[in-house]
């Protein structure tokens, strides 16, 4: 760790206030170029602690920057991990108010729900599939608190990996009934298909993104509990949205889920 507790609290405060007041900011590594990974996750943990202290519940976890398309779009080269609280959940087909966000974008993802605990190190696709209850379509709404979505990895980790809203729905599927590498996804904006891909875009297999999360948590003495919802990461580039847009994600064999921006 390079930052003291006071600085970590101040940075958590700055980033969470940006989220609560729909204001953007410059990336925090501009002011703290020496901060390390532990500092970045400590700032994210402090944001999480503040939300939980205000009565919010952590209802899911996420892996991000897990596809080449996303890494290229954001100019970074490794996955990051974050959390979602209950106020981020939008019902299937429900509304998302853009006035509560800064500059939202949507990502087509495959969501996993676990039935047994996953504890790293050493988790791999096999352990993840064995621990998965079902998978289903998920749209993540990301909303970086950084101006123009310009950040580096440590800054985006501190900002809880741009997490803002998400919707899951459609037809849950057993992992033994599909090949998650070849499963096709189509994301439509106002009825027009705008992003296409297959599961293998995410680290070769979406379950690898869950294994990476379990191994990351394992290194910190934490685990993924049974019954956890996890977003495995955008399969394609993120797509900007504005009020009036209607987004639908169709995943092969798993139906569709949608969200309306108002
Ligand atoms: C960071 C979050 C990326 C994903 O699925 O790749 C992410 C960002 O691009 O703002 O959630
Ligand atoms: Mg995402």
Tell me the CA–centroid distance for residue 107 and ligand 2, in Å. 6
In a structure prediction context, what are the per-residue pLDDT tens digits for the chain, which is 262 residues long?
A: 999 999 999 999 999 999 999 999 999 999 999 999 999 999 999 999 999 999 999 999 999 999 989 998 888 888 999 999 999 999 999 999 999 999 999 999 999 999 999 999 999 999 999 999 999 999 999 999 999 999 999 999 999 999 999 999 999 999 999 999 999 999 999 999 999 999 999 999 999 999 999 999 999 999 999 999 999 999 999 999 999 999 999 999 999 999 999 9
- Ligand 1 pocket by Cβ (under 6 Å): 64-66, 70, 74, 107, 140, 142, 144, 149, 156, 161-162, 233-234, 238
CA pair distance 18, 22, nearest whole angstrom: 6
Output the residue whose Cα is nearest ligand 1's atom 3: 64
Q: What is the pTM of this model?
A: 0.97
Helix (H) / strand (E) element for 168: namely strand 163-168
ipTM above 0.95, yes or no: yes
CA pair distance 151, 173, nearest whole angstrom: 35
Helix (H) / strand (E) element for 141: namely strand 132-142
Q: Using DSSP, state whether 62 is helix, strand or coil.
A: strand
Nearest of 142, 25, 167 to residue 73 by alpha carbon: 142
């Amino acid at each position: 760790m390079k930052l003291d507790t006071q600085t970590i609290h101040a940075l958590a405060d700055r980033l969470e206030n940006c989220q609560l007041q729909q204001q953007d900011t410059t990336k925090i590594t501009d002011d703290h170029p020496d901060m390390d990974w532990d500092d970045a996750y400590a700032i994210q943990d402090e944001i999480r602690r503040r939300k939980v202290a205000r009565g919010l519940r952590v209802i899911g976890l996420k892996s991000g920057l897990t596809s080449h398309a996303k890494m290229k779009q954001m100019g970074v080269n490794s996955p990051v991990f974050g959390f979602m609280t209950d106020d981020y959940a939008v019902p299937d087909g429900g509304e998302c108010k853009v006035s509560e966000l800064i500059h939202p974008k949507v990502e087509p993802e495959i969501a996993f729900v676990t039935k047994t605990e996953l504890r790293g190190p050493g988790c791999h696709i096999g352990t993840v599939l064995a621990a998965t209850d079902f998978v289903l379509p998920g749209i993540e709404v990301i909303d970086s608190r950084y101006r123009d979505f310009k950040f580096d990895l440590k800054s985006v980790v501190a900002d809880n990996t741009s997490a803002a809203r998400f919707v899951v729905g459609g037809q849950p599927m057993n992992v033994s009934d599909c090949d998650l590498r070849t499963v096709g996804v189509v994301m439509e904006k106002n009825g027009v298909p705008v992003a296409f891909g297959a599961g293998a875009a995410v680290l070769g297999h979406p379950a690898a993104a869950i294994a990476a999360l379990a191994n990351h948590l394992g290194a910190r003495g934490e685990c993924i509990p049974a019954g956890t919802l996890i977003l495995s990461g955008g399969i394609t580039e993120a797509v900007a949205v504005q009020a009036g847009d209607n987004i639908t994600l169709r995943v092969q064999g798993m139906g569709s889920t949608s969200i309306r921006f108002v």
